[in-house]
Structure 1
Amino acid sequence: MQEPSAFLATLTTALPSVMTGLTLSLSLIMAIGAQNTFVLRQGLRREHVAAVVAVCALLDITLMTIGVSGLAATLGNYPRALNALALAGAAVVGWYGLSALRRALAPHAMHAQLQGAPQTLRKTVIQVLTISLLNPHVYLDTVILVGAVGAKQAAGTQGWFLVGAGGASALWFITLGFGARLLSPLFERPVAWRVLDLLVAAMMGHIAYSLWSQATVL
């Protein structure tokens, strides 16, 4: 068991890296995106929420670990790979945006959001993996940016940085997925689903266009 003085010394050394990882991760992950929208939607439907939250958090933690371990510098040397990811991501996000628009325009689609036949766990996991892994911003944020900052931490504190960054990701997705249930009374109204899907369609369309534009100028 560590002596109190040794424990305080470790805490003093580790805390700045933990806080750096936590604040950086939260600032990146809290931006509205396709992944956050999917988690929110599953939370509102109360469908496979734990699995979706776990997949998103574990993916973030894995990619952050890879980035801090040194892959950030490697990916930075291959802009064509990032270009291909951007084009693939634009296609996938655009498709989901069109799907959301179709749901919003369907006269009775909103009634089925909570009461319709649920998706299988397998299909839900495939969807969240597709949304997450084909979005280049995920790699730019977790592998490149978080990886670069984590790699600059003092020797012996990179692990603590990952604790903060990974913990922030897990906390965010848990809050988003399970906290969405508090909004259930609002989304029992069909018009609320219509507005949500219109916002989702607009947001995903913007992201798809942004990714396409970035890819074409590289």
Structure 2
Amino acid sequence: MLLAALHGFLLAVALILPIGMQNGFIIGQGALHKRWFGALPAVITAALCDTLLVSLAVIGVSSAALHITWLRYAFGALGILFLLYIGSITWRDSSKIEQHETATAWSPKRQIKFAASVSLLNPHALIDTLAVIGGSALMYTSWPDKFAFGIACVAVSWIWFFVLVILGHVTGRVAVKKSSLGLINRISAIMMWSSAIYLSYIIYTFK
């Protein structure tokens, strides 16, 4: 169990460190709020989504589900449309931010919706959980080892998101201005549109 936990910890660290849509969003929310715990809805939602994806990957449910053709296509269509929609909203928000002297903090409801979208509909998250974490979990035949492996992966997500939001709050309140926030939003929108294209490739070529 100890080796399985160490394996899960090191693998999760390697997968979660790159700053993608999910991590960038958490950092941005930390910067926007006057107190870092104002971004807790985003942090907890992202962590819970990662917990769900890792759990499904470890027990093999997610991989089995995506082998059902109609379900895979339905999931792909929903994810693509949602990413295109969220990308357009994010692009529009960039103009609103630059027209005001300060950017407004997001409401808990908006944080939850956005965090869930970039966590569950992110092609890279799907690859990481289905292919990498799910594939690595297959090497463990006993459930205690699988459990230790999965818990270690989940723990890294929770710790990392709390670190990111505090880091974003400390550095962002000083460094992030309205012009840079607008640019970040535009980059995020482009990443989401690109992810929608990439998601279509992943879903429809999945074997």
Tell me the TM-score range normalised by the shorter chain. Answer: 0.7 to 0.9
Of 26, 46, 53, the residue aligned with 1:63 is: 53
Q: How many corresponding residue pairs?
A: 201
Structure having the higher Rg: 1
Query: Is 1:17 aligned with 2:4?
Result: yes
Residue type of the partner of 2:6?
M
Residues 92, 131 of structure 1: 8 Å contact kept: no
Residue type of the partner of 1:186?
A
> Stretches of 4+ moved more than 4 A in 1?
215-218
Residues 72, 144 of structure 1: 8 Å contact kept: no
Partners of 2:124 and 2:69 in 1: how far apart? 14
Structure 1 segment 1-218 matched on structure 2, within 5 A: 14-46=1-33, 48-106=38-96, 108-109=98-99, 111-113=101-103, 116=104, 118-153=105-140, 155=142, 156-183=144-171, 184-187=173-176, 189-215=177-203
Normalised to the residue count of structure 2, the TM-score between the two structures is: 0.80
Residues 101, 178 of structure 2: 8 Å contact kept: yes
Partners of 2:137 and 2:204 in 1: how far apart? 30
**Over the residues paired in the alignment, what is the CA RMSD in angstroms?**
2.7
Residues 72, 148 of structure 1: 8 Å contact kept: no
Partners of 1:38 and 1:196 in 2: how far apart? 9
- Farther off after superposition, 60-69 or 96-105: 96-105
Identical positions, percent: 21
Secondary structure of 1:35 counterpart: helix
* Structure 2 gaps, min length 5: none
Normalised to the residue count of structure 1, the TM-score between the two structures is: 0.76
* Structure 1 gaps, min length 5: 1-13
Q: Once the 2 structures are TM-superposed, how far is the Cα of residue 161 of structure 1 from its aligned partner?
A: 0.8
Partners of 1:79 and 1:136 in 2: how far apart? 18
Partners of 2:14 and 2:205 in 1: how far apart? 26
- Farther off after superposition, 165-174 or 146-155: 146-155
Partners of 2:122 and 2:97 in 1: how far apart? 31
Secondary structure of 1:157 counterpart: helix
Residues 98, 179 of structure 2: 8 Å contact kept: no
Q: Once the 2 structures are TM-superposed, how far is the Cα of residue 166 of structure 1 from its aligned partner?
A: 0.9
Residue type of the partner of 1:124?
Q
Secondary structure of 1:153 counterpart: coil
Return closer, same or farther for 1:63/1:186 CA change in 2, 3 Å cut-off. Answer: same
Residues 80, 196 of structure 2: 8 Å contact kept: yes
Return closer, same or farther for 1:135/1:200 CA change in 2, 3 Å cut-off. Answer: closer
